[in-house]
Amino acid sequence: MRNPPSETTRQRTQPTNAPQAVYFPACVQTMFGPATTGTCGVQVGFEQLCERAGITLLVPAGIDALCCGTPWSSKGMADGLATMSHKTLAVLRAATNEGALPVVCDASSCTEGLRHIIEGDTSARPLTVIDAVEFAATHILPSLPGYHKIESLALHPTCSSTRLGINPALDTIADAIAERVEIPENWGCCAFAGDRGMLHPELTASATRAQAADVVAMGATAHASCNRTCELGMTRATGKPYRHVLEILEEVTRP
């Protein structure tokens, strides 16, 4: 999961502009912009954090035409999934110098989607895909300067962060943001599921009803998750602006 402690990796810790990871911003950012006018979105937030930590990222050329494949997988569109997987895998193999660099993705569902794509990668050095939350907990958090935490944060782990096993990293980031972090007692997957929450709003409404009541009762200072469409689902359910946890971390730790 983490950077292998090889010669090449160690050399990259030198203050050079050589990239340490290939950054794969999720396309949901393009379709659904930041929660509130005037906020920057997870991509800018994550890039700022990396900049402060002295980490250089590489965004592959042609990123706007790439996707983790989840929309096709969810809809059962096998041909489209194969087309997109092939395209994305080829670009990532080249950008990572054939697997020498890890791929970092900033939306948990897309991280999971990319993991599925690379399952089909049979090359000698398979690609490594890390979620930005996990990357930040390991590589960014330790080098951030002193700052003031906000009072409280309502946290929404996602189905993908649960399945990826990155909820401990999500907790770590959340604890770094706020004095008090609360996950609603009736927490569960929001069922926004890409566009399923738009196709069948009654599904998301039902899935979020109990936890939304918990969240509203909390009255937290800020609300965070780790996947743009889930942030939309929870925003719809609670009326509170949900943002990516790294976007909030960037704000809180801004010098």
Q: Which of residues 101-140 bind other proteins (CB under 8 A)?
A: none
As measured in angstroms, the least distance from the Cβ of 253 to other proteins is 10
Token pair in block for residue 164: 């990826």
Report which DSSP code applies to 227.
Answer: S
206: helix, strand or coil: helix
Indicate which single residue of 196, 216, 221, 252 sits in contact with other proteins (rule: CB under 8 A). 196
Indicate which single residue of 2, 10, 125, 200 sits in contact with other proteins (rule: CB under 8 A). 200
Q: Which of 38/142 has CB closer to other proteins?
A: 38
Indicate which single residue of 44, 100, 144, 150 sits in contact with other proteins (rule: CB under 8 A). 44
Rounded CA-CA distance 227/156 in Å is: 10
As measured in angstroms, the least distance from the Cβ of 226 to other proteins is 14
Strands in 84-137 per DSSP E:
103-105, 129-131
Q: Which of 55/178 has CB closer to other proteins?
A: 55
Indicate whether 218 belongs to the interface with other proteins (CB under 8 A). no
As measured in angstroms, the least distance from the Cβ of 163 to other proteins is 5
Q: Which of 34/102 has CB closer to other proteins?
A: 34
Token pair in block for residue 10: 């160690």
Contact 92, 127 (CB under 8 A): yes
What is the b/e burial string over 22-38, where b = at least 16 CB atoms within 10 angstroms of the residue's CB? bbbbbbbbeeeebbeee
Report which DSSP code applies to 136.
Answer: I
Q: Which of 4/54 has CB closer to other proteins?
A: 54
Q: Which of 53/175 has CB closer to other proteins?
A: 53
* Residues in region 220-239 near other proteins by CB under 8 A: 232, 235-236, 239
Stretch that binds other proteins, among 19-27, 117-125, 133-141, 213-221 (CB under 8 A): 19-27
Nearest residue to 194 (alpha-carbon basis) of 86, 93, 77:
77
* Residues in region 56-85 near other proteins by CB under 8 A: 56-67, 71-81, 83-84
Nearest residue to 193 (alpha-carbon basis) of 226, 160, 167, 153:
160
As measured in angstroms, the least distance from the Cβ of 104 to other proteins is 12
Q: Which amino acid is at 145?
A: P
Q: At 228, give phi and psi (nearest 5°).
A: -55, -45
